[in-house]
Amino acid sequence: MSIRLRFAFCYGTLFALILPLMTVLSYAIHARGQYDDIDRMLIVRTEHAASEVTSTSRPHLLQREKGFEIALHLYSSTGVLQDQTLGTAPLPSVDPRAILHTPTRPAFDPIVGLFPPLMGSPPVIPDATSAFSLINTSEQRWRVYVLPFHTAQGAGYLEAVTPLGRLDASIQAFRMILPLLGLTSLFLALLGSWAIAGNALRPITRMIQTAQTITLSRDLSRRIEMPAHHDELGRLAATFNELLASVEAAHRTQQRLVADASHELRAPLTAILGNIELLHHQQNMPAGDREEALAELEREATRLSRLVADLLMLARADAGIGLKRRPIDVDLLVLDAFHEARHLAQGQTLRLGPFEPAHIEGDEDRLKQLLLILLDNALKYTPAGGEVVLGLRPQEERVDILVRDTGVGIAPEALPHVFERFYRADPARSRDPGGTGLGLPIAQWIVEQHQGTIRLESQPGQGTLVTVRLPLG
């Protein structure tokens, strides 16, 4: 079921549940008000007549009250009609004593009877001995109110009667019209909710179409048209576009990486194949040339294996391999790396700078790999006679590892790119054909995995300072 249909259905169901309740309630309020008015008038009129009967010897009952169809009857205590309002016959003749035996006040309507008076107060019956009744004749219903009275001349009953025909007809019409109105409103509400849902969901439909087009065309440069309003759907479209942008960027990076990796792998492979061919076809080549070819073969194979190892390392990093953390003595680790790097030096001086013991939680193997990458770079890009200094400086909540060299340095325009995969500054390329351009990205990943930072400061021709900052503990 589509969201649109579900929305219209839910709205319609809710409306269909609320509507009958509201209909019955509004009917009850309306009818109850009307009928209560009748009772109120009957009480007032009867009381008025009763006061006349008790204060004067000849009551003026018989003046018909204009505007209200209320007739009054005066009965003796034995139930004999003694007087009545003029011109009101034929009225149902009811013995007031029979009415007074009716214990409860009959409700006008079963529905109305279910509700307490919803607006205003109910008519107050002044005398506990008085009573209301409802009388049905073939033409209509009548409301009757009987009030017993006592005078010096004797006791009797005053009875007020009013026809309910017109009011009943109007309430009946109201009762007929309410379901019709309800059904019409329900139909209109369903229609309206269908239209509103369609309108509200239109941007989503457009998003789905764009997403489908992108899937089919594989064109990640496409974007979703932004809805006119910056509401939730606007934000959804914006987020979707941001997602597309990041997927596009990731896709581009991936493509570039594959291209770069193939390119970097091809160079040593070409050299290896060339040398193998040479050795194969020139069986009688001079020993010196042969040695040179074999040396190059070894160099290129080593480079190839390093490249593959670095690529594997980064692939694992991308896949989210974790670290094996444990408490380590960074000073011992730095010393270890320092001794290992001394074999890489080719005429450069490698020495220890400021050095203090420090302990952190980390992955020993990865941190050693990081130190060797930095020392290897420092030595690679420092000519013979230059100096490389390795230092360790614990601070309050961190430890700084410093690798300073007096080498070729990095041009300011190249500096922001050195952590990009396969990036190699031009002088580096010409100085060290064995480099892969993957050392610093790996170093950065290791540092980030330790919640640390790595910073390069460099002056072309003067040297480079690499600062790795790791949190203690």
Binding residues vs ligand ADP (CB under 6 A): 377-378, 381, 405, 407-410, 418, 423-425, 428, 435-440, 464
Task: Report in angstroms how near the CB of residue 2 gets to ligand ADP at its nearest.
Answer: 53
Task: Report in angstroms how near the CB of residue 448 gets to ligand ADP at its nearest.
Answer: 15
Burial 290-323 (b: 16+ CB within 10 A, else e): eeebeebbebbeebbebbeebbebbeebeeeeee
Task: Report in angstroms how near the CB of residue 433 gets to ligand ADP at its nearest.
Answer: 10
Nearest residue (CB) to ligand ADP, 20 versus 461: 461
Nearest residue (CB) to ligand ADP, 27 versus 422: 422
Task: Report in angstroms how near the CB of residue 306 gets to ligand ADP at its nearest.
Answer: 9
Residue nearest ligand ADP by beta-carbon distance = 439
Q: How far is CA 136 from the centre of its chain?
A: 63
Task: Report in angstroms how near the CB of residue 227 gets to ligand ADP at its nearest.
Answer: 44
Nearest residue (CB) to ligand ADP, 42 versus 466: 466
Nearest residue (CB) to ligand ADP, 123 versus 435: 435
* Residues contacting residue 88 through CB under 8 Å, at least 6 positions apart: 64, 71, 161
Task: Judge contact between 31 and 168, C-beta under 8 A.
Answer: no
What is the residue whose two structure tokens read 């941001």?
242
CA pseudo-torsion sign 9, 11, 14, 18:
negative
CA proximity to 4, closest of 196, 187, 207: 196
Task: Report in angstroms how near the CB of residue 440 gets to ligand ADP at its nearest.
Answer: 3
CA proximity to 220, closest of 198, 241, 199, 237: 241
CA pseudo-torsion sign 365, 366, 371, 374:
positive
Nearest residue (CB) to ligand ADP, 131 versus 440: 440
Task: Report in angstroms how near the CB of residue 197 gets to ligand ADP at its nearest.
Answer: 55
CA distance 29 to 348: 101
CA pseudo-torsion sign 445, 365, 433, 468:
positive
Task: Report in angstroms how near the CB of residue 275 gets to ligand ADP at its nearest.
Answer: 22
CA of 108: how far to CAs of 128, 155, 315, in Å? 20, 30, 85
Nearest residue (CB) to ligand ADP, 163 versus 409: 409
Nearest residue (CB) to ligand ADP, 106 versus 461: 461
327 cis-preceded (ω within 30 degrees of 0): no
Nearest residue (CB) to ligand ADP, 163 versus 437: 437
CA distance 143 to 134: 5
Angle subtended by helix axes 287-319 and 439-449, to nearest 10? 30
